[in-house]
Amino acid sequence: PPEAKLAFVVRIRGINGIHPRPRKVMQLFRLRQINNGTFIRLNKATIHMLRICEPYVTWGFPNLKSVREMIYKRGFGKIDGQRVALTNNAVIEQALGKFNIICMEDLIH
């Protein structure tokens, strides 16, 4: 859709014989292993980066239901350098309260 602002990118191929440029793009997208996925905010720069690494990744536009399911099932964040599961709203409010994000639903929307 032309109005889509968010994409979900999944790495589908390994590292053997990859040119350094798409390898660097995948590192920037945090796609270090096969089947790693990440949400990407779409703008002109990120769309260009997706074109560079397109043979090694697949991507699409998630709907609200799938975003909610993925964050509830596999949502992690970094707090003080530690990888923390997003299990309760206290963790989210502590880390993102200054951005007026206080619960899981704020994060999803």
69 in the same domain as 56: no
Strand duo 82-85 + 6-11: pairing = unpaired
| Structural domain for 76, as ranges | 64-108
17 in the same domain as 49: yes
37 assigned to some structural domain: yes
21 assigned to some structural domain: yes
What pLDDT is attached to residue 1? 55
Q: Which of these, 29, 18, 24, lies nearest to 58 by C-alpha position? A: 29
In this structure, the dihedral spanned by the alpha carbons of residues 95, 101, 104 and 107, taken in order and rounded to 10 degrees, is -100
Confidence of residue 5 (pLDDT cuts 50, 70, 90): confident
Tally the domains of the chain.
Answer: 2
- If one compares 72 and 58, the residue with the highest pLDDT of the two is 58
Per-residue pLDDT tens for 20-55? 999 999 999 999 999 999 999 999 999 999 999 999
Q: Which tokens is 15 given?
A: 């590292």
Q: Which residues have C-beta within 8 Å of that of residue 109, sequence separation ≥ 6? A: 64
Query: At 28, which CATH number?
Result: 3.30.1390.20
88 in the same domain as 47: no
10 in the same domain as 43: yes
Per-residue pLDDT tens for 72-99? 888 888 888 888 888 888 888 888 888 8
What pLDDT is attached to residue 2? 63
Q: What is the pTM of this model?
A: 0.80
11 vs 6: CA distance, rounded Å: 17
48 assigned to some structural domain: yes
